[in-house]
Structure 1
């Protein structure tokens, strides 16, 4: 890749000088958007997953749960998958201010990355922009132009009827040297150099003869040519392509102006993406949410009861049957980089999250009656081998409600399901339940053994005394 590209990780500390070298004078703008913040020690931390480009350099910020020791190929493969997820997610969900998923190719806010994705994908499907012109051949194989034939060729008359033994036929030619075709070739080469590898277009071949085209010297003229072409074009694909080329010229011009340029494609709230992915692959059933009781507001003066419109909304509720046994899952997708480091707990959800999840259990008590119920937090894992890994639980000892199980989910595997429009099968869900049961059983055995040994040790001390 010609343009300098670097990988970083969300929620990790970086030396300020290192970020300045890559992003230059854009730090203040990124801070104002909440994408980057500075801690008390002066280190910089990304609160964002996605792409940032300043015209000269491109950086890719991976999610905080990712393995920090991934090689470059693995990083690119993962990010390519994340981009596909972003495109699907943004297409299904209304973009918020915290998201940078603008896809309109003539928008000032559209990312260079999206322009590249469109141009390279469009070229792989449709080839170069085609500027056509019509020529005429006598007795050719094209459509006969009767108007030209009648006006310019002398017929042979027989009994007063004209006969044309020669005709003018239309021949549609492609102007491969038209200015817009050259601009298209320049744009393809530029965006392939910048983003082709990360977008997975490594095998794409095209004419690079226009790489050195002097776009900056004639930017206004080139832009006016494209605008005139847009007015006279009625094919949707051509209009979209022309708008992308016009934006590419504008970006090239801005890159070398004195004002800082910044192009974004990603989100400050990746937890929404994680929730959507998990909700989809676990086949969340929203009908159960509608059956949860709503808060009662009672007016003591009029003795009136007012029902709140909103109620508790668990991320995922799923009921299923396997081998004549019914199961009920209450799940919450948690985008946390949780870790038990010996006795130290890091990156865990807050008390409010635990309280809500336990309350969901209570709220769904009637609906889950007669079914084997499991309540769990789902955390993303960079482990691609194990789909589910149960690693702990959390509860309040003063509440008579079963603990919330902590489960790592292979992010790679759920991403694949999401992109392929697939969901966990009933067998997969049973495997999920089985993993929880096995882990609880192991924990119970370990706990019993530990307490048993402690009891024997205490008893022996007591007998000696």
Structure 2
């Protein structure tokens, strides 16, 4: 079976023939491939026209067209996903849309994969054992393999151990048992024990579950290597066992043994591991098999990842209580009664009042992406950021496209208005508004500004646009570090 592993770019428009060539399909194969990916929501089809070819994002008004239209060849295909997908013997590596250089982005994708892993952990997402639902439900073997391998590198092999007590052994001395049960000789008023009770933990190297774990890991590692994904995920090939699953009995016997072990195992991490091994064996599915199921590691909402990265690296204070904000002045008197409230709670909620009822607050209100209150050159700054996952075109001689909409622009002004009283009470003289967008370049780019004259006339700050090197932000995010906001030169 020939394995085809290729890169495609998120949000790029592909023709059917391009997908056919990239993934080495015949006509029937590419039709099935497209239908399968569309069923799992990672591929969309839009009309084949000049306007769509120039688009950098899939907009709400880009209504997806039907499979019948797709079969006529009168459409374009868009990957709405970032990460790795396996579909039969095809491995699809979807890289973020801001990577525009014509090259295989292995280095960049390795970093993106690490970011996705940390994001997934920070959001406390569980292993997605299955993709889709109903007729499109598919066992996500890739996610299970990655979990098992990463778990091994963090915690090691599953072991069953036994605590034993010896006399004059090499383990830790058990003084309580020694004093209670051993004979002591007294010399110069000091006790000397001829026999010391010692304790140690002995691991059973021949344990069934230890061997099973090693066998499963070896098999998982081989599957990842065969799919040409071990380098991308930064996982070394493992050869821990020469046994195969059949050496442990038939499937029902192995599952019965795992079930019994689960009943006597009370360590949470070991329970999760045993359950994952149980699922892996019970499904009997392998990556790269020719079937309609797909496996995935990634997200259809990479904009949320970009927002999270920006919030962490730019030291978001929205969820910090007022009393914990570090400003050059103490919390103003009018806000001291709210010192335990988060900064985000200062924003007013819409108030609704019926003819015959008391006024009530709406449940929701304006929510900025992130706010930073750094001290730059000894001066407090109040900076309202909006992390925008856009490929903006804002150059002389070219039409404007890939830009945030009017709602995004007006909200950015309103965020400043919402914090006007807080800013004034703390004598913060420098207020800035900024859109943060990713770039594959290595330096911060001052891209321009967005403004609405009627809101500018209210004394509100216009919105500056900065393209931020994604690789630099990811590096800080993965190291749990911050960026010097002064580098933005707002």
Instruction: Please give the TM-score of this superposition, normalised by the length of structure 1.
Output: 0.70
Secondary structure in structure 2 of the residue aligned to 1:68: coil
Q: Is the 8 A contact 2:348 2:365 kept in 1?
A: yes
1:404 correspondence with 2:463: yes
1:175 correspondence with 2:217: no
The CA deviation at 1:65 is: 1.2
For residue 413 of structure 2, what is the aligned residue in structure 1?
358
Correspondence list, 1:94-109, <5 A = 102-103=126-127
1:69 correspondence with 2:125: no
| Number of aligned positions between the proteins | 388
Alpha-carbon RMSD across the aligned residues, in angstroms, is: 3.9
Correspondence list, 1:58-457, <5 A = 58-91=91-124, 102-103=126-127, 111-125=140-154, 127-130=156-159, 173-175=204-206, 180=212, 183-184=215-216, 186-193=218-225, 194=227, 195-202=229-236, 204-207=237-240, 209-210=242-243, 218-231=250-263, 233-253=265-285, 260-286=292-318, 287-299=342-354, 301=355, 305-341=359-395, 342-369=397-424, 370=427, 371-383=429-441, 385-386=442-443, 388-399=444-455, 400=457, 401-424=460-483, 428-432=484-488, 435-436=489-490
Cα distance in 2 for residues equivalent to 1:222 and 1:15: 47
Secondary structure in structure 1 of the residue aligned to 2:222: helix
Gapped regions of structure 2 (runs ≥ 5): 49-74, 132-136, 172-200, 319-341
Q: Is the 8 A contact 1:105 1:243 kept in 2?
A: no
- CA pair 124-326 structure 1, distance change in 2 beyond 3 A: closer
For residue 14 of structure 1, what is the aligned residue in structure 2?
14
For residue 41 of structure 2, what is the aligned residue in structure 1?
34
1:57 maps to which of 85, 90, 96 = 90
Cα distance in 2 for residues equivalent to 1:220 and 1:35: 35
Cα distance in 2 for residues equivalent to 1:363 and 1:393: 21
For residue 452 of structure 1, what is the aligned residue in structure 2?
none
- CA pair 189-292 structure 1, distance change in 2 beyond 3 A: closer
- CA pair 285-76 structure 1, distance change in 2 beyond 3 A: closer
The CA deviation at 1:175 is: 2.1
Secondary structure in structure 2 of the residue aligned to 1:263: strand
Cα distance in 1 for residues equivalent to 2:290 and 2:206: 37
- CA pair 412-257 structure 1, distance change in 2 beyond 3 A: closer
Cα distance in 2 for residues equivalent to 1:172 and 1:365: 64
Q: Is the 8 A contact 1:8 1:59 kept in 2?
A: yes
Secondary structure in structure 1 of the residue aligned to 2:380: strand
Which protein is bigger by CA-based radius of gyration? 1
The CA deviation at 1:240 is: 3.4
Instruction: Please give the TM-score of this superposition, normalised by the length of structure 2.
Output: 0.67
Deviations 1:103-129 (A, max 9, x none): 166998774333222322333355544
